[in-house]
Chain A
């Protein structure tokens, strides 16, 4: 009986080592489901680790939750795509500085049958106005994500008061991009998605892109260091290295080189005023 107790202790000790995350330096980055599920991190992080020897632990949740994780000091860096929310977060003293990193775009997804007759257009506002009138099934993420904020902004641009206009046709799933896409595929519904997640999504059903290319569908990503004055345990040097790498020519080039089926997903724009 004594030998197996010793063996169990050994196993638990090893687990403890795993839990401590071995000896390699690492940072925790709170980011969004769209960046994770587009596959960008699988492409980006190995390059960063190779260049610097720093591992990156990505917790991928909605933008709202990512900013909340940063606010609590449970991450070292936040990397999200909702400029208004990011600036508010900074103003509250949660971070140090915002660096634009890259942009991609949103696309309006819809069923091939296109009951609202919006396919092929280039004007997102006009399309959304038509949808609000035709009332076909529409899936909204309705979580505090960057995509949801963009969706609300676009309804406003279309002159639609979505809070009043929504009815049983407007399905609020409160979920990430992937699950929302699953739901839309099952319902043959319209929804707003980021191109990256869409391109990497395999359960499309009858869905396809119906509107793209409108400048209003532009989606900017920013990265910020969590404020070490507020949270002393933040790994500010390692975190800053990550940020510096992202906006460096090398990092920007790695971002640009990420493609799916030859199509580039993210467009680096560090140093711009986006």
Chain B
């Protein structure tokens, strides 16, 4: 209990003084997770919509694979990306290992299945409602996808938030491909891991509290946005 109350005090004082290293770490965490959320949106939203609307042979196995991929262990993804990006690996020429870009790549791979699977569910529900009308209007597959994605945009915001939350909270992948380099690839989760391993548990938990607060604030924001959107657009 002592450590916990110490941590709250630490967390509060770090935030109140806008501790320079804390701001840098939080900023990098947000930037990396945001970038990977956006990349996974570009891939996952159309993929999820296509899965919802299109009927093609092999659709069921793809859905099962996507759902299974939601449970990919981050550390395994990290290891695979590490081997890919290492100088000794196939993509070594780009020199991406131990950079934030490598972290974005690893996190994107982790959250694309989540974004795609959740998008599929959201779009499938909308498709049930709109299918006949869209076919009556002669919408093509592509037009139907974009129409549904835009129509369900507020629910998709929740989906992207789920992706962001997963990205921001994982440590196994980013610590391997990023190397937890001070000032370069150290994010909230890897900083927490480091402070824990140094035995500085109060500081580690303090950082954890900051991270939790950030994610919580985002969720509250998204919830309120959805309420507003529902009232506004129906």
A residues neighboring B (CB under 8 Å): 8, 11-12, 14-16, 18-21, 28, 33, 37, 41-42, 57-61, 71-74, 175-179, 181-182, 185, 197, 200-204, 231, 233
Question: Within 8 Å CB of A202, what residues of B?
Answer: 198-201
Cα–Cα, bound, A58→B180 (Å)? 8
A231, B87: Cβ atoms closer than 8 Å? yes
Residue B184 at the A interface, CB < 8 A? yes
Q: A59-B98, A74-B87 are in contact. Are A178 and B92 (CB under 8 A)?
A: no
Residue B196 at the A interface, CB < 8 A? yes
Task: Name 5 extra pairs, CB < 8 A, besides A21-B184, A178-B197.
Answer: A16-B101, A18-B100, A37-B198, A41-B182, A201-B198
B180, A15: Cβ atoms closer than 8 Å? no
A59, B181: Cβ atoms closer than 8 Å? yes
Residue B95 at the A interface, CB < 8 A? yes
Question: Within 8 Å CB of A178, what residues of B?
Answer: 194, 196-199
Among A57, A61, A175, the one with the most B-chain Cβ atoms within 10 Å of its Cβ is A57
Question: Within 8 Å CB of B201, what residues of A?
Answer: 202-203
Cα–Cα, bound, A74→B196 (Å)? 26
Question: Within 8 Å CB of B34, what residues of A?
Answer: 11
Residue B179 at the A interface, CB < 8 A? yes
Tell me the smallest distance from the CB of A176 to a CB of chain B, in Å.
6
Among B28, B31, B88, B198, the one with the most A-chain Cβ atoms within 10 Å of its Cβ is B198
Question: Within 8 Å CB of B14, what residues of A?
Answer: none
Cα–Cα, bound, A33→B194 (Å)? 10
Cα–Cα, bound, A15→B196 (Å)? 28
Cα–Cα, bound, A202→B34 (Å)? 34
Cα–Cα, bound, A74→B89 (Å)? 10
Of A15, A41, A72, A200, the residue contacting B88 (CB under 8 A) is A72
A15, B100: Cβ atoms closer than 8 Å? yes
Cα–Cα, bound, A197→B201 (Å)? 15
Of B92, B96, B181, B196, the residue contacting A58 (CB under 8 A) is B181
Cα–Cα, bound, A60→B179 (Å)? 7
Q: A28-B98, A74-B87 are in contact. Are A33 and B197 (CB under 8 A)?
A: yes
Tell me the smallest distance from the CB of B49 to a CB of chain A, in Å.
18
Q: A57-B98, A60-B180 are in contact. Are A72 and B199 (CB under 8 A)?
A: no
Cα–Cα, bound, A84→B29 (Å)? 39
B197, A182: Cβ atoms closer than 8 Å? yes
A-B contacts, 25 of them at CB < 8 A, read A11-B34, A12-B35, A18-B28, A18-B100, A19-B96, A19-B99, A19-B100, A20-B99, A28-B98, A41-B182, A57-B98, A58-B182, A59-B181, A60-B179, A72-B88, A73-B92, A175-B197, A177-B197, A178-B197, A181-B199, A185-B199, A203-B199, A203-B200, A204-B199, A233-B95
Among B35, B96, B197, B200, the one with the most A-chain Cβ atoms within 10 Å of its Cβ is B197
A19, B101: Cβ atoms closer than 8 Å? yes
Residue B38 at the A interface, CB < 8 A? yes
Tell me the smallest distance from the CB of B182 to a CB of chain A, in Å.
7
Residue B191 at the A interface, CB < 8 A? no
Which of under 10, 10 to 19, 20 to 34, or 35 or more describes the interface residues of B?
A: 20 to 34
Cα–Cα, bound, A14→B27 (Å)? 12
Tell me the smallest distance from the CB of A48 to a CB of chain B, in Å.
14
Question: Within 8 Å CB of A203, what residues of B?
Answer: 199-201
B200, A12: Cβ atoms closer than 8 Å? no
Cα–Cα, bound, A11→B104 (Å)? 14
B184, A57: Cβ atoms closer than 8 Å? yes
B198, A200: Cβ atoms closer than 8 Å? yes
- Which chain B residue has the least Cβ–Cβ distance from A61? B179
Question: Within 8 Å CB of B88, what residues of A?
Answer: 71-74
Q: A12-B35, A59-B180 are in contact. Are A37 and B28 (CB under 8 A)?
A: no
Tell me the smallest distance from the CB of B91 to a CB of chain A, in Å.
12
Residue B146 at the A interface, CB < 8 A? no
Q: A28-B98, A203-B199 are in contact. Are A73 and B31 (CB under 8 A)?
A: no
Cα–Cα, bound, A204→B89 (Å)? 41
Cα–Cα, bound, A231→B200 (Å)? 38
Of B104, B179, B199, the residue contacting A201 (CB under 8 A) is B199
